[in-house]
Amino acid sequence: MLSRASAIQIRASRGISRGRGFQLPTIVVGLAIAVIASFTVMPLSVDEVASASPTTTVTTIASELNVHAINGAQYGVHAPIHVLTFTGSQYSLAIDLANHEIDGGEETPSSMCRSTVDCVAAVNGDFYDVTHKGKPDPGDEVGGIIQNCVLLHTPEISHQQVDLDGRQVNDGLNWSVSVDVNGVNVPITAINQELPMSYVNVNLPLAGTLLFTTQYALRIPSGAGRLTYEFIQVNGTTSPTTSPTTSPTTSPTTSPTTSPTTSPTTSPTTINTTTELELVAQTTNAVRVPANHVFISAPTGSTLATLQVGNTVTMTTTSSAGCNNIGGHPILLNDGAVVPISPSDIYMDQKYARTVIGWTQSGQTVIMIVAGTDDKSGATGHQLVMLLQSLNVVTALDLDGGDSTALYANGHIYYHAGRAERPVSTGLLVVRSP
């Protein structure tokens, strides 16, 4: 989906141009950004929408959760638009992974929901890169992923993120993982990803100190001049000294400011904790990570080379990004302010099917999907902003779009952009709270 050059190329999910990965237009990082003009938009209530369009429906799935069809013609959007909303504590957002693994392939949002207890609705999640079947990195996630306080994946590139519990958007994922090796601090470059990503015309050598946990579905990468250290997790302990000092406090569901309580079975990359790891083996082979193990791939001769089998190290994971965080592009609204969209971001300048997650000032969660055909119909970034403002949304992040766009709710596919619901890498679920 994305290259590491100064011109970042975001490729939408497999099959936007059916049968192959589709390359979205170049987004130039660091260029001057044109400010979006201020919009004066009257809020669009459900009753007003119903009178504007004879096909408008308001479906109540359960108490406090609804699906609305709205009319966006006054903003130049003539494609169907569906909005899912909920308030209160009866429902919450959850992140799911295809087959419950990092780089675990692809799965439709409806399948993710049906296999998740108490799930009532689902949409597609973050952008991802797809290679042909049998090649490395099927469904390679692009952005960072923190799920249930566990840091599962670090951003492949500079990528926007959303803290689902704190209802906040950020330009990147705040995270840090380091290993104390006999008093020497070894920073981890990436978690559960290969560096660099293997894209067309990008053939850079494997680099960095890479950490892999059980959730990684593929064999860990191997290469000349590298050695992989296999650790077993000894225990996990709370580390109050590494707790974030600026945790969000914008809602009752905001992530706690204290570190999660851990146990010997806690994931080794649970945020704001430390864990003890014991070295059990070394290898140059590409292997899968067994349960309760942590693999670290590093250049030959690194500080890790001073370890012997049986030695222990301490790993510390920190983040103030909240316990459930997923990526997207770009941020559309941030606490009521319209976020400028780069004029070079052709993907947002053209009409596409869209999926957006956002919140109103009162705390209502809004998931909006816009139907469309690539480069022909749907909504531009500016039109998305106007639609969101009409719904009183003050904070919003654009998720993957194009043919990935889909809304599943209460056993019904309300919309999917392709000939069939497309399997994706990550999904955003609405689950009924216990």
pLDDT digits (tens, 9 = 90+) for 39-60: 233 333 333 333 333 344 555 5
Statement to judge: residues 333 and 314 lie in one domain:
no
120 and 53 inside one domain: yes
pLDDT at 278: 97
User: How many angstroms separate the CA atoms of 154 and 175, rounded?
Assistant: 8
**194 part of a folded domain:** yes
11 shares its domain with 53: yes
Is position 368 within any domain?
A: yes
Among the residue ranges 77-91, 132-146, 271-285, 350-364, the one predicted with the least confidence is 132-146
Instruction: Please write the tens of the pLDDT for every residue from 280-328.
Output: 999 999 999 999 999 999 999 999 999 999 999 999 999 999 999 999 9
Are 157 and 120 a contacting pair, CB within 8 Å?
A: no
Which domain-ending residue is among 318, 347, 367?
318
Q: What is the pLDDT of residue 273?
A: 96
The total of structural domains in the chain comes to: 2
- Helix then strand then coil, in percent of the chain rounded to 5, is 10, 40, 50
Which is it for strands 91-97 and 81-86: parallel, antiparallel or unpaired?
A: unpaired
Dihedral, CA of residue 12, residue 74, residue 357 and residue 414, to nearest 10: -80
Q: Determine the Cα–Cα distance for residues 185 and 121; give it in Å rounded to an integer.
A: 44
Domain for residue 170, yes or no? no
Do residues 42 and 123 share a domain? yes
Tell me what pLDDT residue 64 has: 78
Report if residue 136 sits inside a domain.
no
- Statement: the pTM of the whole predicted model exceeds 0.75: yes
* C-alpha to C-alpha distances, 130 to 16, 226, 273, nearest whole angstrom: 11, 26, 33
Range of the structural domain that residue 95 is part of? 7-127+329-432
- Position 315 scores a pLDDT of 97
Among 158-162, 287-291, 340-344, 385-389, the range of highest mean pLDDT: 385-389
pLDDT per position as a tens digit, 322-335: 999 999 999 999 99
Residue 121 amino acid letter: A
What is the pLDDT, as a whole number, of residue 266?
Answer: 82
Report yes or no: 404 and 417 within 8 Å, Cβ to Cβ: yes
Asked if the model's pLDDT at residue 35 lies above 50, the reply is no
Q: Which band of pLDDT confidence, cut at 50, 70 and 90, is reported for residue 254? A: very low
Whether residue 93 sits in one domain with residue 204:
no
- Note whether 314 and 184 are same-domain residues: yes
- Choose the final residue of a domain: 318, 346, 364: 318
* Within-domain flag for 134: no
pLDDT at 135: 59
Position 165 in a domain: no
For residues 335 and 314, state if they share a domain: no
pLDDT in tens, 133-151: 555 556 789 999 999 999 9
Asked whether residue 237 carries a pLDDT value surpassing 70, the answer given is no
Inform me whether the pLDDT recorded for 27 exceeds 90. no
What are 356-376's pLDDT values in tens digits? 999 999 999 999 999 998 878
Note whether 337 and 419 are same-domain residues: yes
Q: What is the pLDDT of residue 133?
A: 54
Domain check: are 204 and 255 in the same one?
yes
Amino acid identity, residue 373? Answer: T
Q: Which of 318, 344, 362 is the last residue of a domain?
A: 318
For residue 114, pLDDT over 60 is answered with yes
Are residues 243 and 208 part of one domain? yes
* pLDDT of 200 over the 60 cut: no
Residue 293 located in a structural domain: yes
Burial class (CB in 10 A: 0-12, 13-18, 19+), 166: buried
Q: How many CB atoms lie within 10 A of CB 310?
A: 8
Q: Are residue 280 and residue 405 in the same domain, yes or no?
A: no
pLDDT at 398 exceeding the cut of 80: yes
Task: Clarify whether residues 399 and 269 are in a common domain.
Answer: no
**Which of 21-30, 214-223, 276-285 shows the lowest per-residue confidence on average (mean pLDDT)?**
21-30
Does the residue 358 lie in any domain? Answer: yes
Give the pLDDT confidence score for residue 332 in this predicted structure.
98
- How high is the pLDDT of residue 5? 30
Region 400-404: mean pLDDT is: 94
